[in-house]
Amino acid sequence: MHRAGSRPIGTLCWHSAIPLCSARQTIWYAFFSQPAPAIGLLDFYLFGPAALALEKKWKVEDLTLRERMGGGNFGQVFEGIINPPGGGS
């Protein structure tokens, strides 16, 4: 017989819920906290290298410089036109 007020079923259910709560907290922390560690890892190891691989590499031959648009502390700015593929200016 159980003592008055003790609930073995409630205690059993509580102990089985602890790992589930822990897993939920881990998933929430990894994906939804700010900054999200899982998203940062995906960005650094997967999306970052993929973006670098797909990035367009410009060469001098790809552009034709036109008139000067302005300048400042960081240099001069010129208007540029992208040359058609396979052809020069």
Cα–Cα distance measured from residue 56 to residue 75, given in angstroms and rounded to the nearest whole number: 23
Q: pTM score > 0.85 for this model? A: no
For the segment 70-82, what is each residue's pLDDT rounded down to a tens digit? Answer: 999 999 999 999 9
Res. 4 pLDDT band, cuts 50 70 90: low
Residue 33's SS3 state is coil
* Contact predicate 81/63, CB 8 Å: yes
For the segment 7-63, what is each residue's pLDDT rounded down to a tens digit? Answer: 555 554 555 556 667 888 888 888 888 888 888 888 999 999 999 888 888 888 889
Would the pLDDT of 89 be above 80? Answer: no
Cα–Cα distance measured from residue 26 to residue 58, given in angstroms and rounded to the nearest whole number: 43
- The domain limits of the chain are 8-82
